Structure 1
Amino acid sequence: MKKGWRLPDYTLAQETGPPHKREFTMSCRVENFVESGSGTSKKIAKRIAAEKLIAKLQSLPPNFPEVVKRSSCTWDLLKNSSGEHILSLKRNPLSASSTDYVKILADLADEQNFIVNYLEIDEQNVNGQFQCLAELSTNPVTVCHGSGISPVSAHNEAAHNALQYLKIMASKK
Protein backbone atom coordinates (compact mmCIF):
# COMPACT_ATOMS: atom_id res chain seq x y z
CA MET A 1 0.00 0.00 0.00
CA LYS A 2 2.92 2.37 0.71
CA LYS A 3 3.96 2.01 -2.93
CA GLY A 4 0.48 2.90 -4.21
CA TRP A 5 -0.19 -0.55 -5.61
CA ARG A 6 -3.58 -2.26 -5.62
CA LEU A 7 -4.69 -4.56 -2.81
CA PRO A 8 -3.78 -8.25 -3.15
CA ASP A 9 -6.10 -10.49 -5.13
CA TYR A 10 -6.53 -14.06 -3.90
CA THR A 11 -7.65 -16.88 -6.19
CA LEU A 12 -8.29 -20.54 -5.48
CA ALA A 13 -5.87 -22.27 -7.86
CA GLN A 14 -6.47 -25.88 -6.86
CA GLU A 15 -8.48 -28.02 -4.46
CA THR A 16 -7.41 -31.65 -4.09
CA GLY A 17 -7.95 -34.64 -1.84
CA PRO A 18 -10.98 -36.35 -0.36
CA PRO A 19 -13.60 -34.22 1.45
CA HIS A 20 -12.24 -35.12 4.89
CA LYS A 21 -8.64 -34.25 3.97
CA ARG A 22 -8.69 -31.33 1.53
CA GLU A 23 -5.57 -29.52 0.32
CA PHE A 24 -6.06 -25.99 -1.01
CA THR A 25 -3.70 -24.00 -3.21
CA MET A 26 -4.29 -20.23 -3.31
CA SER A 27 -2.54 -17.65 -5.45
CA CYS A 28 -1.89 -14.12 -4.25
CA ARG A 29 -1.41 -11.37 -6.86
CA VAL A 30 -0.27 -7.77 -6.43
CA GLU A 31 0.25 -5.86 -9.68
CA ASN A 32 2.33 -8.28 -11.83
CA PHE A 33 3.69 -10.34 -8.92
CA VAL A 34 2.16 -13.74 -8.09
CA GLU A 35 2.95 -16.33 -5.45
CA SER A 36 1.05 -19.43 -4.35
CA GLY A 37 0.67 -21.32 -1.11
CA SER A 38 -0.91 -24.60 -0.06
CA GLY A 39 -2.56 -25.71 3.16
CA THR A 40 -5.35 -27.69 4.77
CA SER A 41 -7.66 -24.65 4.68
CA LYS A 42 -8.09 -21.72 2.31
CA LYS A 43 -7.10 -19.37 5.13
CA ILE A 44 -3.78 -21.14 5.70
CA ALA A 45 -3.08 -21.33 1.95
CA LYS A 46 -3.81 -17.58 1.59
CA ARG A 47 -1.50 -16.73 4.48
CA ILE A 48 1.36 -18.83 3.05
CA ALA A 49 0.90 -17.26 -0.41
CA ALA A 50 0.82 -13.76 1.11
CA GLU A 51 3.95 -14.43 3.21
CA LYS A 52 5.82 -15.63 0.11
CA LEU A 53 4.70 -12.56 -1.85
CA ILE A 54 5.71 -10.19 0.95
CA ALA A 55 9.16 -11.81 1.05
CA LYS A 56 9.47 -11.40 -2.73
CA LEU A 57 8.40 -7.74 -2.59
CA GLN A 58 10.77 -6.99 0.30
CA SER A 59 13.67 -8.35 -1.76
CA LEU A 60 13.07 -5.77 -4.52
CA PRO A 61 15.60 -2.92 -4.86
CA PRO A 62 14.70 0.31 -3.01
CA ASN A 63 14.11 2.24 -6.24
CA PHE A 64 11.76 -0.42 -7.61
CA PRO A 65 8.54 1.65 -7.38
CA GLU A 66 10.01 4.02 -9.98
CA VAL A 67 10.73 1.20 -12.44
CA VAL A 68 7.34 -0.55 -12.19
CA LYS A 69 5.52 -0.26 -15.49
CA ARG A 70 2.58 1.92 -14.51
CA SER A 71 -0.20 2.44 -16.97
CA SER A 72 -0.40 5.86 -18.50
CA CYS A 73 -3.49 4.96 -20.52
CA THR A 74 -6.23 7.44 -19.61
CA TRP A 75 -9.57 8.11 -21.27
CA ASP A 76 -8.28 11.41 -22.68
CA LEU A 77 -5.28 9.67 -24.25
CA LEU A 78 -7.55 7.01 -25.76
CA LYS A 79 -9.88 9.65 -27.21
CA ASN A 80 -6.99 11.53 -28.82
CA SER A 81 -4.84 8.57 -29.88
CA SER A 82 -4.08 8.07 -33.55
CA GLY A 83 -2.91 4.48 -33.07
CA GLU A 84 -3.97 1.93 -35.68
CA HIS A 85 -5.78 -0.38 -33.26
CA ILE A 86 -7.75 2.31 -31.41
CA LEU A 87 -8.81 3.91 -34.71
CA SER A 88 -9.93 0.51 -35.98
CA LEU A 89 -11.89 -0.06 -32.78
CA LYS A 90 -13.63 3.31 -33.13
CA ARG A 91 -14.54 2.72 -36.80
CA ASN A 92 -15.54 -0.96 -36.94
CA PRO A 93 -18.43 -2.84 -35.30
CA LEU A 94 -17.68 -5.55 -32.76
CA SER A 95 -20.26 -8.04 -33.97
CA ALA A 96 -18.51 -10.92 -35.76
CA SER A 97 -19.17 -14.11 -33.77
CA SER A 98 -15.94 -15.97 -34.62
CA THR A 99 -13.59 -13.06 -33.90
CA ASP A 100 -10.60 -13.49 -31.56
CA TYR A 101 -11.38 -10.59 -29.24
CA VAL A 102 -8.62 -11.65 -26.82
CA LYS A 103 -6.03 -10.98 -29.56
CA ILE A 104 -7.65 -7.68 -30.57
CA LEU A 105 -7.62 -6.53 -26.93
CA ALA A 106 -3.99 -7.67 -26.50
CA ASP A 107 -2.93 -5.73 -29.61
CA LEU A 108 -4.78 -2.64 -28.37
CA ALA A 109 -3.20 -3.00 -24.91
CA ASP A 110 0.29 -3.14 -26.46
CA GLU A 111 -0.42 -0.08 -28.56
CA GLN A 112 -1.99 1.98 -25.74
CA ASN A 113 0.37 0.86 -22.95
CA PHE A 114 -1.93 -1.02 -20.58
CA ILE A 115 -1.96 -4.57 -19.24
CA VAL A 116 -4.81 -7.10 -19.47
CA ASN A 117 -5.19 -9.80 -16.80
CA TYR A 118 -7.85 -12.50 -16.91
CA LEU A 119 -9.10 -13.66 -13.52
CA GLU A 120 -11.02 -16.93 -13.36
CA ILE A 121 -14.20 -17.05 -11.28
CA ASP A 122 -14.39 -20.39 -9.46
CA GLU A 123 -18.17 -20.74 -9.73
CA GLN A 124 -20.05 -21.38 -12.93
CA ASN A 125 -23.00 -19.08 -13.64
CA VAL A 126 -26.66 -20.14 -13.31
CA ASN A 127 -26.52 -21.53 -16.88
CA GLY A 128 -23.52 -23.73 -16.02
CA GLN A 129 -21.07 -21.57 -17.98
CA PHE A 130 -17.50 -20.66 -17.05
CA GLN A 131 -16.90 -17.09 -15.91
CA CYS A 132 -13.95 -14.73 -15.81
CA LEU A 133 -13.07 -11.08 -15.39
CA ALA A 134 -10.84 -9.07 -17.72
CA GLU A 135 -8.95 -6.44 -15.72
CA LEU A 136 -7.39 -3.60 -17.71
CA SER A 137 -4.71 -1.48 -16.06
CA THR A 138 -6.12 1.68 -17.60
CA ASN A 139 -6.38 4.77 -15.46
CA PRO A 140 -8.86 4.25 -13.85
CA VAL A 141 -8.77 0.44 -13.83
CA THR A 142 -11.46 -1.25 -15.93
CA VAL A 143 -13.00 -4.64 -15.14
CA CYS A 144 -15.36 -6.52 -17.48
CA HIS A 145 -17.14 -9.85 -17.04
CA GLY A 146 -17.40 -12.71 -19.52
CA SER A 147 -19.01 -16.13 -19.54
CA GLY A 148 -18.98 -19.03 -21.98
CA ILE A 149 -19.12 -22.77 -22.48
CA SER A 150 -15.35 -23.02 -21.90
CA PRO A 151 -12.73 -20.90 -20.13
CA VAL A 152 -11.47 -19.78 -23.57
CA SER A 153 -14.91 -18.59 -24.64
CA ALA A 154 -15.38 -16.84 -21.27
CA HIS A 155 -12.09 -14.95 -21.88
CA ASN A 156 -13.21 -14.06 -25.40
CA GLU A 157 -16.53 -12.65 -24.15
CA ALA A 158 -14.80 -10.69 -21.37
CA ALA A 159 -12.40 -9.25 -23.97
CA HIS A 160 -15.36 -8.42 -26.25
CA ASN A 161 -17.13 -6.61 -23.41
CA ALA A 162 -13.92 -4.73 -22.53
CA LEU A 163 -13.51 -3.66 -26.16
CA GLN A 164 -17.11 -2.45 -26.30
CA TYR A 165 -16.52 -0.40 -23.15
CA LEU A 166 -13.24 1.02 -24.47
CA LYS A 167 -14.96 1.92 -27.74
CA ILE A 168 -17.66 3.85 -25.86
CA MET A 169 -15.17 5.65 -23.63
CA ALA A 170 -12.75 6.46 -26.46
CA SER A 171 -15.56 7.90 -28.61
CA LYS A 172 -17.13 10.10 -25.91
CA LYS A 173 -16.86 13.84 -26.48
Structure 2
Amino acid sequence: MSQEGYQPPAAKTTAETRLDMHESQRASPGKTPIQVLHEYGTKSGNIPVYLMERAEGEAHQPSFIFRVTIGDVCCTGQGPSKKAAKHQAAEAALNILNIDVGIVGSTLTCVDVVVNRNVPVNPDSNGVAGETNSSPNPVGILQELALQRGWRLPEYSVLMEAGPPHKREFTVTCRMESLAEKAVGNSKKAAKKAAAEKMVAKLRSLSGSAEITWSPKPSVRFENLRNSSAEKISLLRRNPLSIPNTDYIQLMLDLSKEQGFEVTYFDIDELTVNGQYQCLAELSTCPVTVCHGTGISCGNAHNDAAHSALQYVKIMASIK
Protein backbone atom coordinates (compact mmCIF):
# COMPACT_ATOMS: atom_id res chain seq x y z
CA MET A 1 0.00 0.00 0.00
CA SER A 2 1.29 3.45 -0.86
CA GLN A 3 2.60 5.49 2.06
CA GLU A 4 2.10 8.77 0.20
CA GLY A 5 0.07 11.18 2.26
CA TYR A 6 0.12 8.89 5.29
CA GLN A 7 0.39 10.70 8.62
CA PRO A 8 1.12 8.66 11.75
CA PRO A 9 -1.24 9.30 14.66
CA ALA A 10 0.01 11.97 17.01
CA ALA A 11 0.94 11.01 20.54
CA LYS A 12 -1.81 11.71 23.01
CA THR A 13 -1.44 14.69 25.26
CA THR A 14 -1.75 14.45 29.04
CA ALA A 15 -5.21 15.98 28.83
CA GLU A 16 -6.30 13.40 26.23
CA THR A 17 -4.93 10.57 28.37
CA ARG A 18 -6.77 11.96 31.36
CA LEU A 19 -10.02 12.17 29.36
CA ASP A 20 -9.61 8.58 28.15
CA MET A 21 -9.07 7.45 31.74
CA HIS A 22 -12.25 9.17 32.87
CA GLU A 23 -14.23 7.68 29.98
CA SER A 24 -13.02 4.15 30.76
CA GLN A 25 -13.73 4.76 34.44
CA ARG A 26 -17.37 5.54 33.68
CA ALA A 27 -17.62 2.44 31.53
CA SER A 28 -16.05 0.10 34.10
CA PRO A 29 -16.58 1.24 37.71
CA GLY A 30 -15.14 -0.61 40.68
CA LYS A 31 -11.59 -1.13 39.42
CA THR A 32 -8.78 -2.20 41.69
CA PRO A 33 -5.49 -0.24 41.91
CA ILE A 34 -3.81 -3.00 39.86
CA GLN A 35 -6.35 -2.55 37.07
CA VAL A 36 -6.16 1.25 37.17
CA LEU A 37 -2.34 1.22 37.07
CA HIS A 38 -2.34 -1.28 34.18
CA GLU A 39 -4.79 0.89 32.24
CA TYR A 40 -2.66 3.98 32.86
CA GLY A 41 0.48 2.07 31.81
CA THR A 42 -1.17 0.87 28.60
CA LYS A 43 -2.20 4.40 27.64
CA SER A 44 1.14 5.97 28.57
CA GLY A 45 3.28 3.24 26.98
CA ASN A 46 4.78 2.03 30.30
CA ILE A 47 3.30 -1.31 31.30
CA PRO A 48 3.78 -1.90 35.05
CA VAL A 49 6.15 -4.74 35.94
CA TYR A 50 5.75 -6.60 39.25
CA LEU A 51 8.55 -8.47 41.00
CA MET A 52 8.31 -10.39 44.27
CA GLU A 53 11.23 -9.28 46.43
CA ARG A 54 10.76 -11.70 49.31
CA ALA A 55 8.34 -13.74 51.38
CA GLU A 56 8.63 -13.86 55.13
CA GLY A 57 6.67 -14.77 58.25
CA GLU A 58 5.37 -18.08 59.51
CA ALA A 59 3.41 -20.55 57.39
CA HIS A 60 0.08 -19.62 58.99
CA GLN A 61 0.80 -15.90 58.70
CA PRO A 62 2.94 -15.24 55.62
CA SER A 63 3.94 -11.79 54.41
CA PHE A 64 4.85 -11.02 50.79
CA ILE A 65 6.69 -7.96 49.49
CA PHE A 66 6.26 -6.97 45.83
CA ARG A 67 7.91 -4.19 43.85
CA VAL A 68 6.19 -2.53 40.88
CA THR A 69 8.03 -0.47 38.28
CA ILE A 70 6.22 1.79 35.84
CA GLY A 71 8.37 4.20 33.87
CA ASP A 72 10.61 6.01 36.35
CA VAL A 73 8.35 5.23 39.32
CA CYS A 74 9.24 2.30 41.58
CA CYS A 75 7.20 1.33 44.67
CA THR A 76 6.86 -1.60 47.04
CA GLY A 77 3.89 -3.13 48.81
CA GLN A 78 3.42 -5.70 51.54
CA GLY A 79 0.49 -8.02 52.27
CA PRO A 80 -0.59 -11.43 53.59
CA SER A 81 -0.94 -12.72 50.01
CA LYS A 82 0.82 -12.06 46.70
CA LYS A 83 -2.30 -10.36 45.35
CA ALA A 84 -2.60 -8.09 48.40
CA ALA A 85 1.09 -7.11 48.16
CA LYS A 86 0.74 -6.27 44.45
CA HIS A 87 -2.43 -4.35 45.30
CA GLN A 88 -0.55 -2.22 47.86
CA ALA A 89 2.40 -1.65 45.50
CA ALA A 90 0.03 -0.51 42.75
CA GLU A 91 -1.76 1.85 45.13
CA ALA A 92 1.58 3.37 46.20
CA ALA A 93 2.49 3.96 42.54
CA LEU A 94 -0.89 5.55 41.87
CA ASN A 95 -0.35 7.92 44.78
CA ILE A 96 3.04 9.01 43.44
CA LEU A 97 1.55 9.48 39.96
CA ASN A 98 -1.20 11.53 41.63
CA ILE A 99 -3.86 9.13 40.39
CA ASP A 100 -6.23 9.09 43.33
CA VAL A 101 -7.89 5.85 44.45
CA GLY A 102 -10.79 6.10 46.88
CA ILE A 103 -12.49 3.49 49.04
CA VAL A 104 -15.84 1.76 49.01
CA GLY A 105 -16.07 -0.25 52.21
CA SER A 106 -12.94 -2.39 52.17
CA THR A 107 -12.75 -2.44 48.35
CA LEU A 108 -10.66 0.19 46.62
CA THR A 109 -12.12 1.68 43.45
CA CYS A 110 -11.02 4.39 41.05
CA VAL A 111 -12.97 7.55 41.82
CA ASP A 112 -10.91 10.27 40.15
CA VAL A 113 -7.95 10.11 37.79
CA VAL A 114 -5.67 13.08 37.29
CA VAL A 115 -2.38 12.48 35.49
CA ASN A 116 0.43 14.74 36.67
CA ARG A 117 3.93 13.40 36.15
CA ASN A 118 5.63 16.66 37.15
CA VAL A 119 5.21 16.34 40.91
CA PRO A 120 8.16 18.02 42.63
CA VAL A 121 9.83 16.14 45.48
CA ASN A 122 11.45 18.09 48.27
CA PRO A 123 15.02 16.76 48.58
CA ASP A 124 14.94 17.47 52.31
CA SER A 125 11.79 15.41 52.89
CA ASN A 126 13.61 12.07 53.09
CA GLY A 127 11.59 10.90 50.11
CA VAL A 128 8.19 11.58 51.66
CA ALA A 129 6.51 12.89 48.53
CA GLY A 130 2.95 14.05 48.10
CA GLU A 131 3.51 17.78 47.52
CA THR A 132 2.06 19.28 44.35
CA ASN A 133 2.26 22.86 43.21
CA SER A 134 -1.02 23.63 44.98
CA SER A 135 -1.46 21.47 48.08
CA PRO A 136 -0.06 18.37 49.78
CA ASN A 137 -1.57 14.93 49.24
CA PRO A 138 -1.90 13.52 52.80
CA VAL A 139 -2.86 10.04 51.53
CA GLY A 140 0.35 9.86 49.50
CA ILE A 141 2.42 11.26 52.38
CA LEU A 142 1.23 8.50 54.73
CA GLN A 143 1.72 5.80 52.07
CA GLU A 144 5.32 6.81 51.37
CA LEU A 145 6.09 7.30 55.06
CA ALA A 146 4.95 3.74 55.82
CA LEU A 147 7.01 2.29 52.97
CA GLN A 148 10.13 4.21 54.05
CA ARG A 149 9.90 3.29 57.71
CA GLY A 150 8.77 -0.31 57.21
CA TRP A 151 5.47 0.36 59.00
CA ARG A 152 2.18 -1.29 58.20
CA LEU A 153 0.47 0.59 55.38
CA PRO A 154 -2.29 2.96 56.51
CA GLU A 155 -5.74 1.39 56.65
CA TYR A 156 -8.98 3.23 55.86
CA SER A 157 -12.43 1.98 56.80
CA VAL A 158 -15.89 3.48 56.48
CA LEU A 159 -17.44 3.58 59.95
CA MET A 160 -20.78 5.11 59.08
CA GLU A 161 -22.93 6.50 56.29
CA ALA A 162 -25.70 8.94 57.17
CA GLY A 163 -28.02 11.50 55.61
CA PRO A 164 -30.44 11.47 52.66
CA PRO A 165 -29.26 10.16 49.25
CA HIS A 166 -28.66 13.66 47.88
CA LYS A 167 -26.66 14.75 50.95
CA ARG A 168 -24.75 11.74 52.28
CA GLU A 169 -22.16 12.01 55.04
CA PHE A 170 -19.39 9.44 55.42
CA THR A 171 -17.25 8.81 58.48
CA VAL A 172 -13.87 7.24 57.67
CA THR A 173 -11.18 6.05 60.07
CA CYS A 174 -7.48 6.17 59.19
CA ARG A 175 -5.34 3.76 61.17
CA MET A 176 -1.55 3.82 61.13
CA GLU A 177 0.41 1.60 63.50
CA SER A 178 -1.06 2.31 66.97
CA LEU A 179 -2.70 5.60 65.95
CA ALA A 180 -6.21 6.27 64.67
CA GLU A 181 -8.03 9.35 63.38
CA LYS A 182 -11.52 9.69 61.95
CA ALA A 183 -13.11 12.39 59.82
CA VAL A 184 -16.40 13.17 58.10
CA GLY A 185 -16.90 14.13 54.45
CA ASN A 186 -19.64 14.41 51.83
CA SER A 187 -17.96 11.56 49.90
CA LYS A 188 -15.79 8.60 50.82
CA LYS A 189 -12.88 10.24 49.00
CA ALA A 190 -13.26 13.52 50.93
CA ALA A 191 -13.60 11.74 54.27
CA LYS A 192 -10.54 9.58 53.52
CA LYS A 193 -8.46 12.64 52.67
CA ALA A 194 -9.64 14.50 55.77
CA ALA A 195 -8.78 11.51 58.00
CA ALA A 196 -5.33 11.29 56.39
CA GLU A 197 -4.81 15.03 56.98
CA LYS A 198 -5.65 14.57 60.67
CA MET A 199 -3.22 11.64 60.88
CA VAL A 200 -0.40 13.70 59.33
CA ALA A 201 -1.17 16.50 61.84
CA LYS A 202 -1.10 14.01 64.73
CA LEU A 203 2.24 12.56 63.60
CA ARG A 204 3.73 16.05 63.40
CA SER A 205 2.31 16.91 66.81
CA LEU A 206 3.82 13.77 68.36
CA SER A 207 7.12 14.61 66.64
CA GLY A 208 7.06 18.18 67.93
CA SER A 209 7.85 19.63 64.50
CA ALA A 210 6.81 19.61 60.85
CA GLU A 211 9.31 16.82 60.21
CA ILE A 212 7.83 13.48 61.22
CA THR A 213 10.24 11.72 63.58
CA TRP A 214 7.72 9.75 65.69
CA SER A 215 8.22 5.99 65.74
CA PRO A 216 5.83 3.32 67.05
CA LYS A 217 6.88 0.98 69.80
CA PRO A 218 8.13 -2.34 68.42
CA SER A 219 5.70 -5.23 68.36
CA VAL A 220 5.95 -7.68 71.25
CA ARG A 221 5.78 -11.38 70.45
CA PHE A 222 3.72 -13.69 72.67
CA GLU A 223 6.84 -15.79 73.07
CA ASN A 224 8.37 -12.84 74.95
CA LEU A 225 5.31 -12.65 77.19
CA ARG A 226 5.51 -16.38 77.93
CA ASN A 227 9.16 -16.09 78.88
CA SER A 228 8.72 -12.94 80.97
CA SER A 229 8.85 -13.17 84.77
CA ALA A 230 8.12 -9.46 85.37
CA GLU A 231 5.74 -8.42 88.14
CA LYS A 232 2.60 -7.48 86.16
CA ILE A 233 2.60 -10.48 83.82
CA SER A 234 3.27 -12.81 86.76
CA LEU A 235 0.30 -11.33 88.65
CA LEU A 236 -1.87 -11.75 85.56
CA ARG A 237 -0.97 -15.44 85.34
CA ARG A 238 -1.74 -16.08 89.04
CA ASN A 239 -4.82 -13.96 89.74
CA PRO A 240 -8.38 -14.42 88.43
CA LEU A 241 -9.97 -11.80 86.19
CA SER A 242 -13.41 -12.02 87.78
CA ILE A 243 -13.27 -9.49 90.65
CA PRO A 244 -16.23 -7.03 90.43
CA ASN A 245 -15.59 -3.31 89.81
CA THR A 246 -12.01 -3.88 88.67
CA ASP A 247 -10.41 -1.18 86.55
CA TYR A 248 -9.22 -3.41 83.71
CA ILE A 249 -8.18 -0.40 81.63
CA GLN A 250 -5.59 0.51 84.28
CA LEU A 251 -4.46 -3.11 84.60
CA MET A 252 -3.95 -3.26 80.85
CA LEU A 253 -2.10 0.08 80.86
CA ASP A 254 0.27 -1.11 83.60
CA LEU A 255 0.90 -4.38 81.77
CA SER A 256 1.51 -2.65 78.43
CA LYS A 257 4.06 -0.28 79.99
CA GLU A 258 5.88 -3.18 81.62
CA GLN A 259 5.96 -5.36 78.49
CA GLY A 260 6.51 -2.58 75.94
CA PHE A 261 3.40 -2.78 73.74
CA GLU A 262 0.73 -0.20 73.03
CA VAL A 263 -3.04 -0.38 73.56
CA THR A 264 -5.46 1.59 71.39
CA TYR A 265 -9.24 1.76 71.82
CA PHE A 266 -11.47 2.26 68.77
CA ASP A 267 -15.07 3.31 69.42
CA ILE A 268 -17.74 1.82 67.15
CA ASP A 269 -20.48 4.33 66.34
CA GLU A 270 -23.19 1.68 65.91
CA LEU A 271 -24.86 0.41 69.09
CA THR A 272 -25.55 -3.27 69.73
CA VAL A 273 -29.06 -4.69 69.26
CA ASN A 274 -29.46 -4.22 73.04
CA GLY A 275 -28.54 -0.53 72.78
CA GLN A 276 -25.06 -0.85 74.30
CA TYR A 277 -21.90 0.95 73.25
CA GLN A 278 -19.16 -0.99 71.46
CA CYS A 279 -15.42 -0.64 71.07
CA LEU A 280 -12.32 -2.56 70.02
CA ALA A 281 -9.08 -2.80 71.99
CA GLU A 282 -6.01 -3.31 69.80
CA LEU A 283 -2.68 -4.45 71.25
CA SER A 284 0.54 -3.95 69.26
CA THR A 285 1.58 -7.55 69.84
CA CYS A 286 2.82 -9.85 67.10
CA PRO A 287 0.42 -10.95 65.77
CA VAL A 288 -1.81 -7.98 66.57
CA THR A 289 -4.48 -8.66 69.20
CA VAL A 290 -7.95 -7.16 68.73
CA CYS A 291 -10.71 -7.71 71.31
CA HIS A 292 -14.32 -6.51 71.41
CA GLY A 293 -16.11 -4.89 74.33
CA THR A 294 -19.63 -3.63 75.11
CA GLY A 295 -21.15 -1.57 77.90
CA ILE A 296 -23.80 0.93 78.93
CA SER A 297 -21.31 3.74 78.26
CA CYS A 298 -18.13 4.24 76.21
CA GLY A 299 -16.08 3.86 79.40
CA ASN A 300 -17.77 0.58 80.26
CA ALA A 301 -17.20 -0.68 76.71
CA HIS A 302 -13.49 0.18 76.98
CA ASN A 303 -13.26 -1.61 80.32
CA ASP A 304 -14.98 -4.70 78.88
CA ALA A 305 -12.65 -4.73 75.87
CA ALA A 306 -9.62 -4.40 78.17
CA HIS A 307 -10.98 -7.32 80.23
CA SER A 308 -11.29 -9.48 77.12
CA ALA A 309 -7.80 -8.50 76.00
CA LEU A 310 -6.31 -9.34 79.41
CA GLN A 311 -8.01 -12.74 79.32
CA TYR A 312 -6.50 -13.44 75.92
CA VAL A 313 -3.02 -12.29 76.95
CA LYS A 314 -3.28 -14.40 80.11
CA ILE A 315 -4.04 -17.52 78.05
CA MET A 316 -1.29 -16.84 75.51
CA ALA A 317 1.28 -15.94 78.19
CA SER A 318 0.55 -19.13 80.15
CA ILE A 319 0.90 -21.64 77.28
CA LYS A 320 3.92 -23.86 77.77
TM-score (norm 2): 0.46
Flag the 1:42–1:131 CA change in 2: closer, same or farther, 3 A. Answer: same
Deviations 1:7-40 (A, max 9, x none): 4344679999x85756656442312455554432
Who is 2:229 aligned against? Answer: 82
**Who is 1:172 aligned against?**
319
The amino acid across from 1:73 in the alignment is V
For the structure 1 residues 50 and 132, does the alpha-carbon distance in structure 2 shift closer, same or farther, using more than 3 Å as the test?
same
Unaligned runs of 5+ in 1: none
Q: 3-state SS of the aligned residue for 1:118? A: strand
Asked if 1:138 corresponds to 2:285, the answer is yes
Partners in 2 of 1:156 and 1:45 — Cα distance?
29
Tell me how far apart the structure 1 counterparts of residues 294 and 202 of structure 2 sit (CA, whole Å).
33
Higher relative contact order (CA 8 A, sep 6+): 1
Cα offset for 1:140?
1.0
Shift of 1:160: 0.3
Equivalent residue number for residue 111 of structure 1: 258
CA distance in structure 1 between the aligned counterparts of 2:284 and 2:151, rounded to whole angstroms:
11
Aligned counterpart in structure 2 of residue 50 of structure 1, from 171, 193, 196: 196
Kept in 2, the 8 Å contact 1:12–1:122? The answer is no
CA distance in 1, matches of 2:305, 2:252: 10
How far, CA to CA, are the matches of 1:34 and 1:146 in structure 2?
Answer: 18
Query: Equivalent residue for 1:39?
Result: 185
User: Equivalent residue for 1:6?
Assistant: 152
RMSD of aligned C-alpha atoms? 3.0
Number of aligned positions between the proteins? 168
CA gap 1:21/1:135 in 2 versus in 1, 3 angstroms: same
Match for residue 129 of structure 1? 276
The answer to whether the aligner puts 1:30 opposite 2:213 as a matched pair is no
The answer for unaligned runs of 5 or more in structure 2 is: 1-145, 205-209
- Greater C-alpha Rg: 2
Compute the displacement of 1:170 (Å): 0.3
1:93 match: 240
Alpha-carbon shift at residue 76 of structure 1 (Å): 1.2
Residue 163 (str. 1) matches residue 310 (str. 2) = yes
| Cα distance in 2, alignment partners of residues 56 and 162 from structure 1 | 26
